[in-house]
Structure 1
Amino acid sequence: MARELAVFLHGLGQTPQAWQDQVKDLPSDLPAAAPWLRGLRPGSPHRFSLRDSAAEVSSALTMHGADRAYLIGVSLGAMVAMQAALDDDRVAGVVLAAAQVSPPKWAMKAQGVALKLASRRRLADRGLDKTAMQEVFGALADTDFSDRLGELRIPTLVLCGANDRVNQPASRRIADEVPGARLELIAGGHQLNEDNPGDFNRLTYEFIAGLRPGEGPDVRPIERPHDG
């Protein structure tokens, strides 16, 4: 029997605790991990990079003795999940929420300005390191999965919030270009795991159930909110 592991990868502005609602509904027989993305833990000596973060995901699989993994990522975590899935053949499926293919320069600039104005102390109270977060924007400046989406030949569920207009174009592109991928628009904004944990969990765990050894597919799309 394959040794499985679900790995939850948080977004920028989140900590691993953002996955509490997902852990609560986790199938009892599915082990899980929710690591910090490399370089974002307060006090970490490392700087963020997409490849290093993906390599740490692979290290986590090895540490847990997993030979079959399901990666669930939001925003920045979704991009790390894509990179890890491209690099590690133990990844058997991915859930990509609010993912980007090539982060728009205008959006990165706007987020950078907003972060610059944010209180360092208030971010620290939430367990966030402002300097580490600011460094992410530079690390992602040249990120572009455009030529590699077709290489992601594993089951892929793409989730995006009906109110998340910035990420909907990339979500649609991923669903169109990743072989067999499926897109679900659900109520909520950018951080879907916190905005709408009910629908997020149901779709995620139905998707994973259909991939697990000995399980049959049982993925029933929910009624989609109007997105036009």
Structure 2
Amino acid sequence: MPIVFLHGLGQKPGDWDPVINRLDKGSRTLCPNLHALERDGEDYPALYGAFERYCDGLEEQLDLCGLSLGGVLALQYAAEHPERVNSLALIGARASMPKALLKFQKLLFRVMPAESFGKMGLEKQSAIQLCTSMAELDLRPVLEQITCPALVLCGEKDRANRHAAEKLGRMLPNGEVRLIAEGGHEANRDAPEALSVLLADFYKRHAAVQNT
């Protein structure tokens, strides 16, 4: 059963390496490049459709672990395909989108040079369009359909998302919330050791329950 690691907007699959390298060496991991998935269009529905096809192409049940945008994709897939998801680990993810933060993010993207986006593996206009299309996304009405174990994580320094993480953990039927020591929003980059400890414990506990 693979653990599928999903990066955030502006990240690449390799940003998960410091975390994966600290997990059990027997863990099977997949890190798709979300920006490279074949899709029709550059908005969120097109990206989700491409991610959905990617997951459907994997025959086994999945342990999904996503950060920010990756966490939103994982959350929606688990709600729409609960039989395919064995567990969820969500870092800095939200069930409903913060319009003010998205608006600020778009403003930043507009003033950033185009070459900065090339390093992320996407085009500037694509990033802006993706942010715009997520503004009305709200997964709260379907959270009750997610019954698998769900670990909701947030960096101690990620004040913008901490309250949302605590609320999400309460709304998920089998959710639990943990803070990542010294972590910011991109905890896979700035606190990989603390993040890997929390993930390893979650997967170990979940595996023990399955084997009883």
Task: Provide the TM-score with structure 1 as the length reference.
Answer: 0.83
Describe how 1:109-148 pairs up with structure 2 within 5 A: 109-148=103-142
Deviation for aligned residue 1:36: 2.0
Asked whether the equivalents of residues 156 and 181 of structure 1 are also in contact (C-alpha less than 8 Å), the reply is yes
Q: Which of the residues 16, 21, 43 maps onto 1:19?
A: 16
Q: Is residue 2:69 matched to residue 1:76?
A: yes
CA pair 126-48 structure 1, distance change in 2 beyond 3 A: closer
Deviation for aligned residue 1:56: 3.9
Q: Mean Cα displacement is larger for which, 115-124 or 44-53? A: 44-53
CA pair 62-30 structure 1, distance change in 2 beyond 3 A: farther
Q: Is residue 2:144 matched to residue 1:150?
A: yes
Q: Mean Cα displacement is larger for which, 125-134 or 153-162? A: 125-134
Describe how 1:1-228 pairs up with structure 2 within 5 A: 4-37=1-34, 40-41=35-36, 46-66=40-60, 68-88=61-81, 89-186=83-180, 187-212=182-207, 215-216=208-209
CA pair 178-125 structure 1, distance change in 2 beyond 3 A: closer
Deviation for aligned residue 1:172: 0.9
Task: Provide the TM-score with structure 2 as the length reference.
Answer: 0.88
User: 1:123 & 1:30 partners in 2: Cα distance?
Assistant: 32
- Matched letter for residue 210 of structure 1: R
Counting matched residue pairs gives 208
Structure showing the higher helix proportion among its residues = 2
User: Cα RMSD (Å) of the superposition?
Assistant: 2.1
- Matched letter for residue 82 of structure 1: L
User: 2:52 & 2:22 partners in 1: Cα distance?
Assistant: 24
Asked whether the equivalents of residues 20 and 196 of structure 2 are also in contact (C-alpha less than 8 Å), the reply is no
The SS at the match of 2:140 is coil
Question: What are structure 2's unaligned runs of at least 5 residues?
Answer: none
Asked whether the equivalents of residues 41 and 129 of structure 1 are also in contact (C-alpha less than 8 Å), the reply is no
The SS at the match of 1:18 is helix
- Matched letter for residue 80 of structure 1: L
- Matched letter for residue 203 of structure 1: L
Deviation for aligned residue 1:7: 0.4
CA pair 56-25 structure 1, distance change in 2 beyond 3 A: farther
CA pair 63-142 structure 1, distance change in 2 beyond 3 A: same
**Identity rate, percent:** 27
User: 2:130 & 2:106 partners in 1: Cα distance?
Assistant: 10
